[in-house]
Amino acid sequence: MDRSHEPHPAPFDPLLRTDRRRGTALDVLTAHFAHPSGKTIEIIGVKHFASPQFWDLLQADLDSRRPEAAIHYESPLDDSSAWGAWTRLKSRIGRQIDRASHAVWKNGGLAFQFDSLVVRDHWENHDTTTSRTIRSMPIGLMLSLAVLYVPIAMIRPLATAVGRSNTRGLLAAAGKPQSLTGMLRTSIVVDEREEIAANAAMKAEQSVIIIWGHAHLPGLGRRFQRNGFELVSTSWRELFDLGATASPGPREPALPR
């Protein structure tokens, strides 16, 4: 049967699927871009909580790549000396949320990125400022997160149960298109952060490895493709495996009541 007149499906965009479930394991995407000039950019997608083994393997990989490529990472730049009173208040609330949510995730068996990865002296941080991020975060959202996480983190058995449930939730949600256009777009300056990271990578004199949250891969990738880079390959890294026999990461003590 002649099907030449039928519409063809849109080409598959591998960057729309930035994590995947593989049995009891969760994998995250790494995307490799190349420019006709010979320069390459590799985006290693992460979630900010992963198994200790994930961070150990990533550290060894990154350390082995010097001086082959510059390494850029995601973390808002500290400009606290210029904060006003409102930003300082929101920052204090944000620290409580971070502390509590970290306790929940860690008691669920995962390790936080910057507790595990050693940021080497030659790594480069290209991101927006902390004040820009804090000011863009709705106070109502922050208070809701504080009310949710702080009481949970005070009770270790509850923090462990919720942490494990959150981890199973990551696995259940794997493979679905990642969207930063809802709640996060109103709370985090997504476009600005991706623009800063992409521009820094493209302006670098050598090839670059970028370590960023995997949901940012589509936005970063589109910027590279608009500037002459081609997506040449993708690969996967195991973030965690709930069926692994290895013991979970160290438990986080409960927050003081």
For residue 246, what pLDDT band results from cuts at 50, 70 and 90?
very low
Provide mean pLDDT across the span 207-223.
95
Is the confidence at residue 48, as pLDDT, over 80?
yes
Q: Quick check: 153 pLDDT over 50? A: yes
**pLDDT tens by residue, 6-29:** 333 334 477 778 999 999 999 999
Say if CB 48 and CB 112 are below 8 A apart: yes
pLDDT of 189: 82
pLDDT, averaged across the chain: 87
Give the pLDDT confidence score for residue 257 in this predicted structure.
Answer: 40
Q: Would you give the DSSP letter of residue 121?
A: T
Task: Report pTM.
Answer: 0.86
Q: At residue 178, does pLDDT exceed 70?
A: no
H or E segment and range at residue 51: none
Q: Is the peptide bond before 67 cis (omega within 30 degrees of 0)?
A: yes
Q: How confident is the model at residue 179 (pLDDT cuts 50, 70, 90)?
A: low
Residues with Cβ within 8 Å of residue 147, at least 6 apart in sequence: none
Lowest mean pLDDT among 173-182, 185-194, 211-220: 173-182
Query: In this structure, is the dihedral angle defined by the CA atoms of residues 173, 177, 179 and 183, taken in order, positive or negative?
Result: negative
* Helices first, then strands: H and E counts in the chain: 9, 9
Contact 52, 111 (CB under 8 A): yes
Are the CB atoms for 59 and 207 separated by under 8 Å? no
**pLDDT, tens digit (0-9, with 9 covering 90-100), for 105-127:** 999 999 999 999 999 999 999 99
- Element at 112 (helix H, strand E): strand 111-112
CA distance 247 to 44: 25
**pLDDT tier at 188, thresholds 50, 70, 90:** low
